[in-house]
Structure 1
Amino acid sequence: MTTADDTSALWLRRYHPADAGAVRLVCFPHAGGSASFYHPVSARFAPAAEVLSLQYPGRQDRRKEPCVEDLGRLADLVAEQLLALDGRPTVFFGHSMGAALAFETAWRLEQKDAGPLTVIASGRRGPSTTRSEEVHLRDDDGIVAEMKRLNGTAAGVLGDEEILRMALPALRGDYRAIETYSCPPDRTVRCGITVLTGDGDPLTTVEEAERWRDHTEGPFRLRVFTGGHFFLTQHLTAVNGEIADALGLARSAPAS
Structure 2
Amino acid sequence: MNIADNATTPWIRRYHQAAEAGTRLVCFPHAGGSASYFHPVSARFAPDVDVVSLQYPGRQDRRREPCVDTIAGLADLVTTELLALSAKPTVFFGHSMGAVLAFEVALRLADRGAPGPGALIASGRRGPSTHRDERIHERDDDGIIAEVKDLNKQDLTVLGGDEILRMALPAIRNDYRAIETYTCAADRRVGCPVTVLIGTDDPKVTAAEAENWRDHTDGAFRLEVFPGGHFFLARHQGAVNGEILRELRALQAPVEETPALLSGRDST
So what's the TM-score if we normalise by structure 1?
0.93
* Aligned positions of 1:127-166 closer than 5 A: 127-151=128-152, 154-155=156-157, 157=159, 159-161=161-163, 163-166=164-167
* Aligned positions of 1:112-127 closer than 5 A: 112-127=113-128
Other-structure match for 1:235: 236
Determine if contact 1:157/1:164 at 8 Å carries over to the other structure.
yes
Q: Deviations over 1:107-160 (max 9, x none)?
A: 111122321000000000000000000000000000000011101774474634
Other-structure match for 1:98: 98
Other-structure match for 1:45: 45
Q: Aligned partners of 2:2, 2:142: CA distance in 1, in Å?
A: 39
Determine if contact 1:91/1:119 at 8 Å carries over to the other structure.
yes
Structure 2 unaligned residues grouped into runs of 5+: 255-268
Q: Deviations over 1:204-244 (max 9, x none)?
A: 00000011000000011111111111111111111000000
Aligned with 2:15: secondary structure?
coil
Aligned with 1:52: secondary structure?
strand
Other-structure match for 2:34: 34
Which range is displaced more, 207-216 or 10-19? 10-19
One-letter code of the match for 2:236? H
Aligned with 1:197: secondary structure?
strand
So what's the TM-score if we normalise by structure 2?
0.89
Over the matched positions of the two proteins, sequence identity in percent amounts to 63
Other-structure match for 1:56: 56
Other-structure match for 1:196: 197
Determine if contact 1:19/1:48 at 8 Å carries over to the other structure.
no
Q: CA offset at residue 21 of structure 1?
A: 4.1
Structure 1 unaligned residues grouped into runs of 5+: none
Determine if contact 1:117/1:192 at 8 Å carries over to the other structure.
yes
Q: Runs of at least 4 residues of structure 1 off by over 4 A?
A: 3-8
In the alignment, structure 1 residue 169 sits paired with structure 2 residue 170:
yes
One-letter code of the match for 1:159? G
Which range is displaced more, 20-29 or 137-146? 20-29
Q: Aligned partners of 1:151, 1:157: CA distance in 2, in Å?
A: 8
One-letter code of the match for 1:24? R
Aligned with 1:9: secondary structure?
coil
Q: CA offset at residue 20 of structure 1?
A: 1.4
Determine if contact 1:106/1:189 at 8 Å carries over to the other structure.
yes
Aligned-residue CA RMSD (Å):
2.0
Count, aligned residues:
251
Other-structure match for 2:261: none
